[in-house]
């Protein structure tokens, strides 16, 4: 029986830039950062995780899937205070295509983007 999600892939075009964003701006811990081949251009296997989460984010784009970088990702993050998180991340230069608003379904919601244009939902942890 499947019991939980271990990791979610985030397609990125520049792994170092993505690592710096998720670590330094979003606040993820780096779990793994190792080369997957030889040479300067070799892809790396990078896993990061938010301190209070169990799901790892894989910052990796498989060969031939570069067209998946950017756009809405269907990954939804939660936070304790939507407006404060919006202010904190905006001050760090994070783009919000959708600033905090009450969505048509009644919950508060925002959408932020990483440097590759991947967009993520952001909602309140306390709302079901």
Does the pLDDT value for residue 87 go beyond 60?
yes
Q: What is the pLDDT of residue 40?
A: 78
Q: What is the pLDDT of residue 100?
A: 97
CATH architecture of the domain with range 70-128: Roll (3.10)
CATH architecture of the domain with range 1-62: Roll (3.10)
Judge whether 1-62 and 70-128 match in fold. yes
The ranges assigned to domains in the chain are 1-62, 70-128
- Averaged pLDDT, 68-83: 93
Does the pLDDT value for residue 18 go beyond 90?
yes
pLDDT band at 127 (very low <50, low <70, confident <90, very high): low
Q: Quickly list DSSP for the chain.
A: ------EEEE--S-HHHHHHIIIIIS-PEEEEEEESSSSTT--EEEEEE-TT---EEEE---TT-GGGSSEEEEEEEEES-HHHHHHHHHHTT-EEEEEEEE-TTSSEEEEEE-TT-EEEEEEETT--
């Amino acid at each position: 029986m499947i019991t939980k999600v271990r990791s979610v892939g985030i397609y990125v075009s520049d792994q170092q830039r993505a690592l710096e964003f998720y670590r330094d701006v979003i606040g993820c811990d780096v779990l793994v950062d190792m080369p997957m081949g030889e040479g300067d251009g070799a892809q790396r296997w990078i896993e990061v995780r938010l301190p209070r989460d169990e799901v790892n984010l894989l910052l990796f784009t498989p060969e031939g899937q570069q067209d998946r970088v950017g756009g809405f990702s269907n990954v939804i993050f939660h936070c304790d205070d939507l407006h404060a998180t919006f202010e904190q991340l905006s001050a760090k230069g994070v783009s919000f295509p959708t600033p905090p608003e009450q969505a048509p379904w009644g919950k508060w919601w925002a959408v932020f983007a990483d440097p590759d244009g991947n967009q993520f939902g952001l909602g309140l942890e306390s709302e079901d």
